[in-house]
Structure 1
Amino acid sequence: MNTEQLAQLTWLKSSYSGDEGGECVEVAPDATAIHVRDSKEHDGPQLAFPRSVWSGFVASLGRNRI
């Protein structure tokens, strides 16, 4: 994905994230991946996960509660 395409992503922050500047992430879905970035560093590094990997990660969150 090139810089122009990355700039067009619509970023979403969790409703659990506050405005206090804690450890929050934002996600932006596209046709093939889920992009993740630090909510305080919009121009910083980003990760991209295939949708199937992200779905597995999210599903495992509910199963592995401590």
Structure 2
Amino acid sequence: MPFFSDLATCFSRFLQYNTANISTVIGQLIAGVVINHFGWFGRVEISLDWKRWLALGSMMLALYFV
């Protein structure tokens, strides 16, 4: 997903480099969860379970501590 990489490049002057990279990974993770949840692009729908919520929460916590 080049969109997230472009955003990280644009905002890396304002944010620290690690923060921009972790934000990129979180954005890709959220996009993947949304695509799976709604079954876009002809995919099988995969609902949000506790493992996915835990992964999203862990990434947000990592972003907070960076």
TM-score, normalising length from structure 1?
Answer: 0.29
Structure number with the higher strand fraction is 1
By relative contact order (CA 8 Å, sep 6+), the higher-ranking structure is 2
TM-score, normalising length from structure 2?
Answer: 0.29
